[in-house]
């Protein structure tokens, strides 16, 4: 299995408490998963998993029932459904994360492992999306140096001055960015 082939899951009641996993076996009502990043599964909680099977995106609501080895857990699937999005999105507007692309400045509205949505401060000029749909996004987190990510424009909403981008490829950089933003969201929730 490719080292970059992983999926996301989270506590059902707390979508910002995310972790990453690799599926070992999936049947109609069972999911055996290798939990990554030393995340500790709580057997009293219910989790939501996202998975791509044969080109279809699914989400499963599952309860852990047995640990077969360290970090390998068997889950009972209570509910499954087809998802339209490949990856769940984190809402980030309240964090005020700055994003720039070309000469436009804006704020990150949401982000997933597959892309993001940016709200720009000024009107989006036509040449921004007509000349070249591929952009370098510079994302400025509150701490650390700016992160540059290659993406291309998927949709433009001129009334709201928003642009949705798809990342060109999965990368360790995007995974770390997503995890860091998830931490910021958790800290923000603790404050409120």
Q: Measured on CA atoms in the order 34, 38, 43, 47, is the torsion positive or negative? A: negative
pTM over 0.85: no
Mode of pairing for the β-strands spanning 104-111 and 98-101: antiparallel
Answer yes or no: same fold for 7-83 and 90-191.
yes
Q: Which two tokens stand for residue 185?
A: 């969201």
> Which CATH architecture best describes the domain 7-83?
Beta Barrel (2.40)
- Its sign, for the CA torsion 174, 146, 107, 137, is negative
pLDDT in tens, 75-99: 999 999 887 666 778 889 989 999 9
Residue boundaries of the structural domains of the chain: 7-83, 90-191
Residue 4 has pLDDT above 50, yes or no: no
pLDDT tens digit string along 12-44?
A: 888 767 788 889 999 989 999 999 878 899 999
Give residue 86's pLDDT.
Answer: 65
The pLDDT, as a whole number, for residue 1 is 36
The CATH classification of domain 90-191, taken from the options 3.40.50.300, 3.30.1130.10, 2.40.10.430, 1.10.150.240: 2.40.10.430
């Amino acid at each position: 299995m490719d080292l970059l082939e992983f999926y996301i899951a989270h506590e059902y009641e707390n979508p910002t408490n995310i972790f990453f996993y690799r599926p070992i076996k999936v049947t109609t009502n069972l999911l055996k998963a290798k939990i990554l990043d030393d995340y500790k599964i709580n057997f009293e909680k219910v989790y939501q998993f996202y998975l791509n099977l044969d080109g279809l995106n699914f989400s499963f609501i599952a309860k852990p029932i047995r640990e077969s080895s360290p970090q390998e857990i068997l889950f009972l699937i209570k509910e499954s459904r087809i998802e339209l999005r490949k990856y769940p999105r984190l809402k980030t507007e309240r964090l005020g994360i700055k994003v720039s692309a070309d000469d436009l400045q804006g704020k990150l509205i949401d982000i997933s492992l597959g892309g993001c949505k940016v709200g720009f401060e000024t009107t989006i000029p036509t040449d921004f999306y007509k000349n070249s749909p591929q952009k370098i996004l510079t994302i400025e987190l509150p701490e650390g140096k700016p992160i540059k990510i290659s993406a291309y424009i998927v949709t433009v909403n001129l009334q709201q001055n928003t642009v949705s981008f798809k990342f060109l490829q999965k990368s360790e950089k995007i995974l770390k960015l997503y995890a860091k933003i998830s931490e910021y969201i958790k800290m923000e929730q603790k404050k409120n």
